[in-house]
Structure formats: structure tokens, C-alpha cells
Structure 1
Amino acid sequence: MEVCRLLVLFMLLSSLTVMSYSFYEIYSVKPNLAIISGSGNESGITLVDNWLIYSASGYGDEPYDWDIWFVSCDTIFGGMADMSAEGELVESIFIKSTSGTPLTGLNTRYVEASPSYSSDLGKLFFHSDRPGGYGCEDIYGALVVGGSKRVIVRDVSNLGDSINTSYVDVCPFVNDDGTILIFASNRNGGYGGLDLWLSMRSDSKWSAPVNLGPLINTSGNEKYPFLSEFGLFWSSDGRDDSEGYDIYFTEDVLKGISTVVRLPAPINSQFNDWGLAILEGDYLVWSSDRPGYAGGSDIFYLELPGFKPTTMKIMKSLIYNQ
């Protein structure tokens, strides 16, 4: 069984001033195993009950634009029974072109991508370049009404001009209780191309977004934020002389006192790696266009057995002031 070590930073609850670092061993049956691998591109993943929601392009009736798809977790992870005793894959866990289903009630002939689900709000957030927005790409929300055999959504709506601008606003992440939105935008006031911005929700209204600052943002592009119990994960093409996107982590994003860590292999590679998410504390998933798989970009996973993160430490006010 192969082992990779992911540096997870966390602040000791018993100390307000000392930053401590810990290593957790993260085991993978096969680190480079793609769980969603089709002839096109797959990127971004979120969990809605027992459904995996992700975005894909390059096949079907709309071969070039991104749409949002869903598949049962049983279809994905149930295939793990087909492993040999040595941990080698016996047969493909999941072939996207035969198992995934486009999400009805949400997809259009335009781009729909980067899904993120808030369980408390019961809403799926995503970005789209459909007409009627404030800019070339806007952030939207849709109510998820569930279903035992499929995901059903309705009431798709633009988040409005408190979030969206005449610029590009994409890659939303909304936490479970629906109080924090982090997204990428190239609006004025940034440090480069796409920057990460943060908004807080109170009384059903989103606050004016605040740039996460130069400790996070670079002269390049920052995209695909994911705020976990550990801290913030995101992808950047503006660090470490990288020629593409790598995945980074920082522990205390809201204070602005941050150490940025580039995640090790097999998460990052010499190719583009982005869109990391943690599902129920059990699986770490991300996208990569590394060669050897069916499509241009595929979704990969690492299993996190026996490790459950502690309660998320989120400050409800932004301490970092620019």
C-alpha cells in the first residue's frame, strides 16, 4: 500500500499564539486512480446526500461547453470491492460516459461549472456564462429538492450585484451552513488575474466581497477554493515558478497570518492539478490533466481511513484588513 504524506497545518486549541505543524499519513490504495474518467474533461466535485455532483465537458450533445452531472456514491465507491488483495484495481471503478447523468433543471447550452453545495441552505452554487448576468461569467444558486433516483433542482437564480460584477466571477465555494462564500474574480482591486474573494452571509444577504490579500493571491490566477476543517485549499498558477496549476493549502485564511504549503505528490504533479475537495472526511478528490487516463482532465482520489478532522474553526468576522 502506497503512502503519501500530506502536510496539514493546524493551530493548537490550547494556544493562541503558537502555530504548530503536524503530519498525517494519508493512505491510498492507488494514488493515481481516476474515479471519474471519460473521453472529455471532468472537474470539480461536491457531495449532495448520496450523490456526487461534478462538472464535465467534451462529450454528449454539448461537446465543448461545461455542464453539471451527477452519479451515485454507490456507483463510485461501491466499485472498491473490485480490488485485489495487493490493492491493485481489477476493473474500472467508473466510466463517466456510461454512468453519469446531466443535471436537469440547471444545465443550458452555455457553461455551467464548479458546483458547491450548502446542506443547511439546500442550495447548489455554480458559475455560468448564460445570458442575463452582470458579466461574462456570474455565480448562481439553485434549490436542491432531492430525489431517491436522481438529483432534482429548481429556482435557479443569479446571486446579484452584491457578488457578481461586469468582470469574471467563477469557482464558488459555499460552506455547509451557508455563511461563507469564497470565489475567484478578476475584478478591480486584485493582485493579478483571478484572485480569491470572500463574502459573509447574514440575514439572507451576502456582504461586499473582500480580497483575501497577497498571502493568498499572486500576479497569476487563483481558482477553485475549498474551505475545510483543516484550512483553505486552492489552485494557483502564480507560485513556485509553476508552468501550470498546483494545489496549495493554508491554515488560517481569515486572519491573514498564513503559511502557504504546496501539496506533495501524488496530489500535485508536473501537469495541471486543481479543484481539491474533501468528502465527508473520508476521501480527498481533485482534478488533473496528467496523462494515462481517458480524458483531457480526470478526477482522482485519495482515501483518508480512520482520520476525521476536528470541528471547523471559522471566525465570523474578517480580522485581516487591507
Structure 2
Amino acid sequence: MKNLYTALIFALAGATLSAQNKDTQKADKLFEKYEYVDAAQEYLKLVDKGKADNYVYLQLADTYYNMFNTAEAARWYAKATEQKQDAEIYYRYAQMLKANGKYEESNKQMRTFAQMAPGDQRAKAFNENPNYVPRLLDKSKLYEVKPSDVSSDKSDFAAVLYDKSVWFASARNGARKDYGWNEEPYLDIYRADYNDDGTITNAGTVSELNSKWHDGPVTISADGNTMYFSSESFKEKESEKNKKLNAKFGQVYLFKATKQGDKWGDITPLPFNDKTYSCANPSLSRDGKTLYFSSNMPGSMGSTGATDIWKVSIGSDGSYGKPENLGKNINTEGAESFPYISDDGTVLFFASAGRPGLGGYDVFQADLQKNTEATNLGKPVNTEKDDFAFTFNKQRKTGFLSSNRNGNDDIFVVSPICGVQLLTVVTDAKTGNILANASVSIVDDRKNVIATEQSNAKGEVTYRVECNREYTIQASKDGYEGAGFPVKKQDGGDQRVEAKLQPIETIVKETEIVLNPIFFEFNKSNVTREGAFELDKLVQVMKSNPNLTILAKSHTDNRGSDAYNLALSDRRAKSTVQYVISKGIAKSRITGKGFGESEPKADCGENCTEEQHAQNRRSEFLIVK
């Protein structure tokens, strides 16, 4: 995220002033003025001249961190952490490694951070679930993400759709002065037409709102007559002068504008703006009563000036209440920004760099009614880079996302994937008793295991799955026969699956252990996932009955020669035996033998159907002792 809000709100102090010297003065001055491109060049000159020390390495790391040049930031953090640093440095280093997909190395730095700052919410979240990344990657997709035709070769972000207009912030106006942070032009507010076919055309600046400083993004009331937008405090002639740097530093302020014919006018600053902190990225509820925004005002949880998500009430007379911090279910010691409140006012979307994510800023959502912890939207909304400014128009079932995943802040179109909430309840089939701590897997129609969870004290596991797709719930628990429960296709809504497990003794007969067929694929001898699920039942029986000895008989269909089928069935028998032994059963307790096509279950000769062939490719388990 290489824009105004990173520059003015999330600027980092870097190393202490005491480490500066006359060699670093020029670079330090550029750094303190947020002119990071030129600052990096000056620090690198010191490296080339052999005048760099740990202070320079850390300044270089922070410089690239602020520009989100993740590879260079990670490189210099590695150099800086050869000496002991403050805890926050290890956190930044971890984020940069994660942004480059180096999750194991990132976890190593996060462990150091967590040891140094055990009370930090980010450290606690990591310690509770240090290997969260694979789970995020396996998470069911909630949205499709596609490039938008409104993006340019400059920074474009924070698009929001109201009626038939798309509003966004952009630095595409190349005629204006470049901003020293990233050497791009200043930001302006843009409006474009949203057409019925989903295309976006006729993007142009909203001249009456834009100034010679940064402007945008915006939020607009349901009636289209009131707008709130971000701009700089210079608009109000408010700033703080730094005599040493011979520069003025402003804040990001929030402003209100009203529709006057075809133009916007009566632009006024909000009363809680202050030249000691910033307020930015507004989102207005559809009833017009609550304004959400990001700020580092006093009372923020964020460290190093990082922002939190706040809200303020708006009275019917246009008055404002006292801003309220949304608390720890939303905010962390890291940075949270770009809130967007859903049309019904129940779900808040926001970007966070402090919560467990895939790298950089990730988009999260929180149910404000339930007041529960925010959840990560997963891929493809989130990536290893910065993903932020998620907005969604419920009426048109489309929204926008901003991301620098392609190297520049761009706008992407998001469309929801139909989802079904799937509640599985595991019980004892005989008694009806709830079974807690049962293993419950959700398997898709391509036999991929999406996730595996333990049932809670109520015997419940909940998954969100795609609509119009078949799934299978596989449930198992020690002492019970594992079973699969099909989930039919459904357009939407909630589904409930009753996973009733039979006690294991029901499959133990006088002469054999009765399992569902252990089918093998045609011409293959490897144990399949379905086969393993059934064989686990045999393993449970043998562990519960330590004197039990089993003969595994393997059979083939009648395609191929007798000799080939006999050899194939013998390989299948051995694969079956090896699987059972691998689960802790002594080799002396199970043997296997192939019988080829000599004992068909479906005696259909040369006229077997595919189903009959499958029945004949099977294993049986006889009790020898």
C-alpha cells in the first residue's frame, strides 16, 4: 500500500536519534520527511562506501518497509537483526518474510517477537495458532476476484459503488506535483459510470472536492446527498512545522460535503479532527446514523502510531457524538484501517496488519451483532501482499477490493460465491448420545479433504461450503465405526447433517470383520483414501481385541489374464496389510493373500457391468484366531 494513508498515519520512527551521525544526516532528513525513495539511495551510498552500521541497516529496512518493498525490507532486517533489536523489529521482519511466501522463516521471527512481547495481542494470537497459514490457504473461497478496467498505471484504490457511480481515489493525474513518499502524483477523488454489463467507463476527477493535496476516499449517504471524505489538514491551514527539517507536517482529516445541484459544496471539517492525529477512510451506515473510520487518536490500541477502527454517532440534527474505539475484537497493537460497513449494518469489513494473515494487510470481516472475533476472508481476496479497502454493494451483488499484488495499488472486482452453512452433529446411533471430540472431515466431489475438525461439547462441527456442489462428511471416533454421510447439492441456506456412528462391535461377526467394500482403482494396488477410511475401522477392532488375528483376502475383476490378476490381487493384499501394520498393529496379527478372479462376488462371466467389476475388486477380512 503505497499511498497517503501509509505515509501520514503509519510512518515509523526507525532507529533512535542517538545513532545518527554526520554521515547519515542527509539520508535521515529525507527519511523524516517521508521521502523514502531518495532516503534509500542515500543510505545505500553509505553501504557502498563501507560507512554503514546497524543503524543504517535498520533505517534501510524501515525505509523499504514503508514503501512495501518486501524483498529489500527483509534483506535489511536480516542484516539489522544480527544484533538484538526491539520486539517490533522482529514483527516487521516476520511480516516482510510472510509477504514473500517464506512462512517458516516468518514463523521463526514471530517466535522471537512473541518471546519478547508475550502480552502483545499479536503474540498471543500467534502462540495460539502458529501454523494458521495452511488453514487459511485451505479455506473455502468466499469471493471471486478479477482485475477491474478502471485501474491505471498509478495508485488506484478504495472503490465503492453507489447506484450507478463508482467513486475511488487515484494518483493518475500526472500533471500535478509528485509526492516524495513514492514519487507518484498526489491523490484525487474520481467518479466513473458503472454500466449494466459491469463495465466501468468515463472516469474523471471531481474538481470541486479535490485540492492541491491528497484527497479521498469517500463514502456517500443512501439518498446520495451527503458525502464524507478524507483530505489533508492543510485544507484547513492546520499543520505542525519542523524547523530542523524546514518542513510542515499535516494530518489526514475527515470532511463533510453536501450535494448542491450537480456539484458538491458546503465542505466542512468534522469536529473531532485534530492536528495531533489523523482520521481517514470513512464508511457511513445506510441509515446515516453511524460513521466508521480509521484513526490513531488517543485511546487507540495500535502501537507506533498505527490506526484503529473507530465509530461516531450522527444525530438527526447533524451533530456528532464522542468517537468510540471498536475494541479488541476488531483492533490490535498493529494497524487496522479501511472499514466498510455492510448495507444492513451487521458486518464490518476492514484491513488489518496486526491479525494472523497471509502477508501485509489482509481483509477481515466481523459480525457486529454477535460481537465475535473477526475472521480472515482467505484467498483469493487476500494474498501475500497488501489487500485492503473491501467494499460490497448488496443490491448489485458486486464489490471492490484494493491490492498491490501486481506491484501497484490496483482496484479489483469481487463477486460472492454462493455458500452453504453446513452443521454436522455427531451422535451414538444406538443411544442418541452426543459424541464430543469426534473427527469430522469435509470431502469435496473430487475426493479432496478440505478440512478436519474435532466436534465440540455439543457434538457439532460447522463448515461453510460452496452451493450446488456435492460433499461428503466423514466422521469417526474411537470405539465407533467411521462412516461417510453424503451432502446433496443446495442453492443456499443452512444444512444439517446427522452423523450417527455405530459402536464398533456391530462390524465384528463370528467369522469375519464386515467392512464396507475396500475398492481399488482399476489396475492399481495402492490404498485409496476411501479404503483407508474403512481400514481404520479394522485397526480399531484389532486394537480393542488384542488376541484377534486376521487374514486379508484380496480379489480382482475378471479383466486381464488369470496369472496377472492373481499377482495384482496379491499386491493389493500386501498393500492392505502394510496399511494396517503402519497403524500400530503387529505384523504377526495380520496376513494377506491374493485370490485373483477365482472368487467373484458378482458371477457375471464375460458380461459384467462396471458396477459388477467394482464389486469384484474387493478385500475381505476373515477372523483366523
Q: Give the Cα–Cα distance (whole angstroms) in 1 for the partners of residues 389 and 375 of structure 2.
A: 16
Q: 1:123 aligns with which of 205, 226, 241?
A: 226
Higher strand share: 1
Aligned-pair CA distance for 1:280 = 3.8
Moved more, 275-284 or 100-109: 275-284
Matched residue of 2:383: which SS? coil
Moved more, 221-230 or 241-250: 241-250
CA contact (8 A) 2:154 2:172 kept: yes
Which residue of structure 2 lines up, in the alignment, with residue 103 of structure 1? Answer: 206
Q: 1:61 aligns with which of 171, 175, 194?
A: 175
Which residue of structure 2 lines up, in the alignment, with residue 191 of structure 1? Answer: 301
Moved more, 127-136 or 166-175: 127-136
Matched, 1:240 2:356: yes
Matched residue of 1:128: which SS? strand
Q: 1:172 aligns with which of 282, 293, 305?
A: 282
Aligned-pair CA distance for 1:58 = 4.3
Which residue of structure 1 lines up, in the alignment, with residue 332 of structure 2? Answer: 218
In structure 2, the CA distance between the partners of 1:246 and 1:279, relative to structure 1 (3 Å rule), is same
Matched, 1:159 2:274: no
Aligned-pair CA distance for 1:244 = 1.1
Q: 2:217 aligns with which of 94, 114, 120?
A: 114
Moved more, 39-48 or 132-141: 132-141
1:100-147 deviation line (CA, Å, top 9, x unaligned): 100121101101112111124711111111331666111001113464
CA contact (8 A) 1:174 1:182 kept: yes
Which residue of structure 2 lines up, in the alignment, with residue 319 of structure 1? Answer: none
User: What are the within-5 Å matches in structure 2 for residues 7-86 of structure 1?
Assistant: 28=144, 31-62=145-176, 63-74=184-195, 78=197
Q: 2:376 aligns with which of 246, 256, 262?
A: 262
Q: Give the Cα–Cα distance (whole angstroms) in 1 for the partners of residues 311 and 285 of structure 2.
A: 12
Which residue of structure 2 lines up, in the alignment, with residue 132 of structure 1? Answer: 236
In structure 2, the CA distance between the partners of 1:133 and 1:37, relative to structure 1 (3 Å rule), is same
* Structure 1 unpaired stretches of 5+: 1-22, 81-92, 308-322
Which residue of structure 2 lines up, in the alignment, with residue 250 of structure 1? Answer: 366
CA contact (8 A) 1:226 1:233 kept: yes
State the Cα RMSD in Å: 2.8
Which of 1 and 2 has higher RCO (CA within 8 Å, sep 6+)? Answer: 1
Matched residue of 2:175: which SS? coil
1:151-197 deviation line (CA, Å, top 9, x unaligned): x3112111123x55631111111112221011111111111110111
* Structure 2 unpaired stretches of 5+: 1-138, 177-183, 239-249, 420-625
| TM-score, structure 2 as length reference | 0.38
CA contact (8 A) 2:392 2:399 kept: yes
In structure 2, the CA distance between the partners of 1:26 and 1:245, relative to structure 1 (3 Å rule), is closer
How many positions carry a matched residue from both structures? 257
1:255-293 deviation line (CA, Å, top 9, x unaligned): 7x31210002111111110000012441021101111xx
CA contact (8 A) 2:385 2:405 kept: yes
Matched, 1:303 2:406: no
Q: Give the Cα–Cα distance (whole angstroms) in 2 for the partners of residues 240 and 173 of structure 1.
A: 24
Q: Give the Cα–Cα distance (whole angstroms) in 2 for the partners of residues 259 and 287 of structure 1.
A: 23
CA contact (8 A) 1:185 1:196 kept: yes
In structure 2, the CA distance between the partners of 1:209 and 1:121, relative to structure 1 (3 Å rule), is farther
In structure 2, the CA distance between the partners of 1:224 and 1:61, relative to structure 1 (3 Å rule), is same
Q: Which runs of 4+ in 1 moved over 3 A?
A: 23-28, 304-307
Q: Give the Cα–Cα distance (whole angstroms) in 1 for the partners of residues 200 and 221 of structure 2.
A: 26
Matched residue of 1:35: which SS? coil
CA contact (8 A) 2:289 2:313 kept: yes
Matched residue of 1:206: which SS? coil
CA contact (8 A) 1:173 1:183 kept: yes
Aligned-pair CA distance for 1:61 = 2.2
CA contact (8 A) 2:386 2:405 kept: yes
1:51-92 deviation line (CA, Å, top 9, x unaligned): 111111143322521110011012xx53x5xxxxxxxxxxxx
Q: 1:288 aligns with which of 395, 403, 408?
A: 403
The higher radius of gyration belongs to 2
CA contact (8 A) 2:300 2:308 kept: yes
Q: Give the Cα–Cα distance (whole angstroms) in 2 for the partners of residues 301 and 169 of structure 1.
A: 26
CA contact (8 A) 1:133 1:158 kept: no
1:222-255 deviation line (CA, Å, top 9, x unaligned): 11101113511000111116641100011026x7
CA contact (8 A) 2:390 2:400 kept: yes
In structure 2, the CA distance between the partners of 1:197 and 1:37, relative to structure 1 (3 Å rule), is same
| TM-score, structure 1 as length reference | 0.72
In structure 2, the CA distance between the partners of 1:306 and 1:269, relative to structure 1 (3 Å rule), is closer
Q: Give the Cα–Cα distance (whole angstroms) in 2 for the partners of residues 128 and 243 of structure 1.
A: 28
Matched residue of 1:131: which SS? helix
Matched residue of 1:171: which SS? strand
Which residue of structure 2 lines up, in the alignment, with residue 12 of structure 1? Answer: none
CA contact (8 A) 2:347 2:367 kept: yes
Q: Give the Cα–Cα distance (whole angstroms) in 2 for the partners of residues 33 and 239 of structure 1.
A: 26
In structure 2, the CA distance between the partners of 1:268 and 1:133, relative to structure 1 (3 Å rule), is farther
In structure 2, the CA distance between the partners of 1:251 and 1:133, relative to structure 1 (3 Å rule), is farther
CA contact (8 A) 1:37 1:94 kept: no
